[in-house]
Every structure is written in C-alpha cells, then in structure tokens.
Amino acid sequence: MTISARALHNTAHQLDVIANDLDIVREHYARERARVDGYPGGATDAGPTRRHSGELTTTEVIAAQLEHLRHNLEYIEASLNVIVVTTAHVARACRGAVGTRITTPPRCDGRGLEGFDEWGIPDCDMPATKAGLCGNHYMACYRWRRDHGRPVLAIERGDS
C-alpha cells in the first residue's frame, strides 16, 4: 500500500483542525465545570429538584455529566498522544531508511591475476572472502602459485 503525498497533506491539515478543536474542547470543559461547580462564583442552573428513590440527585447528575466531559477530554488527549508518538516513530524510521544501503559482498573476481586462465572461472558468482576471491578460487590460486614458485596471493595483494 502506498500513501500519497496528498493523503499525508490531508492528514496534516486534519491534525491542524484537531489542534484548534482541542483548544475549544478544553475551554468548553473549563466553562462547564465553572458553571456547574459555581466557580468562579454565581448561582448555577442545576435543573429540576424533583427527587425520587430511583432517580439521581441534581448533584449526582451534574457530577456524572462532568465525569463524562472529563473522560471525553482525557480520551481525546490520549488519542492525540498516540498520534504524536506514532508520528515520531514514523519520522525516525524514515530518517533511518533514507541513508541505509544494503551492503552486498564483493563477488569473486580473479581476472588479471597470474594464471587465472588455468585456475579461474570468469563468471564465478560466489562472494569474495580473501584477496578478492571465493574460497575455492583462493585455494586454486594458492596451489597454482605454490606449484609455480610464486609468493602467496594474500601477501602480494596486501590482504590477510
């Protein structure tokens, strides 16, 4: 699945809208709490005062409504926190992926070495392990050089 730049732009716009809405929600919560608690002062409109054994009191109704508002605000803030953390993880993964190169070991290549036409295979696809050659070709080169009185290849090429 590929996410387009347009989808990311739309998401960024939605986050801007959410940030503005969150400020409005916080202000609304503070106003409602002040209104029903009577803080910073003044009478509150608590509603009807009828009481029956099966109904909540006015204070209980107000407390339940405040708890509902507080729960909604906490849910919104927790959800936004998840978005922030997830965004940070995605950004870190993107930054890490940009400079990552998959390393591939060099392939066996003995062309140009003395005696290659006798001991080498030009299209060998094995990874090079020593002196630019795969294990099989290094041993074949070593034996050829030993049999022909030449120095060991690793010393000659500076590899170990």
Give domain status of residue 111, yes or no: no
User: What was the pLDDT predicted at 140?
Assistant: 92
Residue 115: pLDDT over 70: yes
Looking at every residue in the chain, the average pLDDT score rounds to: 79
Give domain status of residue 104, yes or no: no
Query: Bigger pLDDT: 132 or 1?
Result: 132
The reply to whether 59 and 17 lie within a common domain is: yes
Cα(123)–Cα(79) distance, rounded to whole angstroms? 58
How many domains is the chain partitioned into structurally?
2
Residue 155: pLDDT over 60: no
Q: Which domain holds residue 143?
A: 116-157
Give domain status of residue 64, yes or no: yes
Cα distances (Å, whole numbers) of residue 128 to 22, 103, 112, 138, 154: 60, 13, 15, 9, 13
Query: Bigger pLDDT: 36 or 84?
Result: 84
The reply to whether 93 and 25 lie within a common domain is: yes
The reply to whether 22 and 79 lie within a common domain is: yes
Cα distances (Å, whole numbers) of residue 133 to 33, 94, 124, 147, 159: 78, 36, 9, 19, 11
Residue 160: pLDDT over 50: no
The reply to whether 14 and 92 lie within a common domain is: yes
3-state helix, strand, coil in the chain (%, to 5): 60, 0, 40
Q: What is the pTM of this model?
A: 0.47
The reply to whether 33 and 76 lie within a common domain is: yes
The reply to whether 88 and 25 lie within a common domain is: yes
The reply to whether 85 and 59 lie within a common domain is: yes
Give domain status of residue 108, yes or no: no
Percent above pLDDT 90 for the chain: 9
